[in-house]
Amino acid sequence: MQMNKCKYICSALIALLLMVSCKKPDFETQQQAMSTGTINDYLNNNFDFSLFAAAVSKAGLADSLGQSGTAFTVLAPMNSAFNKDGIYNAADFDAWSADSLRYFVRTHVLPAKLFYSNIPLSSDNRYVNLNGVRLYISRSNDPAVGLSVNGVNVQQQPSLSPATAVTYGAAQLNGVVYPLPNTVKVLPVTVQGFLSARPNLSHLVAGLKKFGYWDQLSTDGPFTVYAPQDSSFERQGITLDSIARMDVSYYDPVLFGGYFLKPNHLFVLDIVQLPPPSGILYLPFQTPDPNYKLIMCQQTFGNGVGIATTASTQTSTLISVGPFANNVYGSQGTPFLNESRNINFLYKLQGTYINYTCSNGVVHLLSGLLVMPSKVVKK
């Protein structure tokens, strides 16, 4: 009788241990429970965030982020992110106006605790930052692009063990910190204002005006603009003078209408987070010209974006009209500024790629043209 009782107790203990061991740990709750400092403490005690901590202090937000009773989510650019923008030490922020620096820091802060597990498994979930401006945060099952904000990949938290699921964000007493490898570029201007303020985009601006697209870029949108530098036009022999002399009735409108989409608000990582149907390596989007579509590509075909005829997007062979149209299939697209044509997947961009989120859309900088005039002459 005593032996049976012992067996029963042992069996019960084993069952209880199995139940405990099988229970999935709440990593974020554990993190928060172990937190002993505030967001401001975390930034100041981690060298990788020393530049952002300096920006927070100069912007006058250190006290707010240092109060344990508050609630924030901080999207914190690492030092390497600032280095890409030409900022290497805290003194570099002295060249910024107080308002600009404050706007920049507040761009990266949400007035609420946002844990990774609470973010919907979807693209472009909208959250308002301290400036009252929407940020677009996407979460995906694809570990390569598991979490991103305005097209910037969020760095994963170090794994506790090989068996630990991938997660993001370091929980603090008053919120969460997500490390970013790039700064988030959010500007309080329209895409039209962005383009007109940059002298190195004057050829694109001239073409958009010539073909009657310019005025609409100040309206609600949303727009996605792909902007080649002036040097890209000049390399192809297209000057401001030649644009001014173009006969708009001679070319399909895609000649300059191919550089923007409406109504679309597309980041590069959207192609991975919302992949195309099985067997298709690209997603086509209608340009203002019904005869042509802009394609965002998932693999080496494109390395960025391209323009193809509408009819060819329904077949296995795309007919491109860009400067790389004569290249073999798989290498016809235009890369983003400073990016290599040898990239296999868009999420492997080497870190020089930057997009700018404006009040009515997003602007991507390109390394070359999307459309060659000789390939879009009206028949």
Higher pLDDT, 336 or 302: 336
**Would you say residue 18 has pLDDT above 70?**
no
Query: pLDDT tens, 188-213?
Result: 999 999 999 999 999 999 999 999 99
Q: Which two tokens stand for residue 141?
A: 């099952």
Higher pLDDT, 35 or 9: 35
The percentage of the chain sitting over the pLDDT mark of 90, rounded to a whole number, equals 64
The percentage of the chain sitting over the pLDDT mark of 70, rounded to a whole number, equals 82
Mean pLDDT check: name the lowest of 73-77, 80-84, 281-285, 339-343.
339-343
Q: What is the pLDDT of residue 167?
A: 87
Domains detected in the chain: 27-180 (2.30.180.10), 191-375 (2.30.180.10)
Q: Which two tokens stand for residue 27?
A: 């990593």
Query: pLDDT tens, 145-160?
Result: 889 999 899 999 886 6
**Would you say residue 366 has pLDDT above 70?**
yes
**Would you say residue 242 has pLDDT above 50?**
yes
Query: pLDDT tens, 104-145?
Result: 999 999 999 999 999 999 889 999 999 999 999 999 887 778
Q: What is the pLDDT of residue 282?
A: 76
Query: pLDDT tens, 34-61?
Result: 567 999 999 999 999 999 999 999 999 9
Mean pLDDT computed over 59-68: 97
Mean pLDDT computed over 50-77: 97
Q: What is the pLDDT of residue 338?
A: 80
Higher pLDDT, 143 or 64: 64
Q: What is the pLDDT of residue 127?
A: 98
Q: What is the pLDDT of residue 283?
A: 82
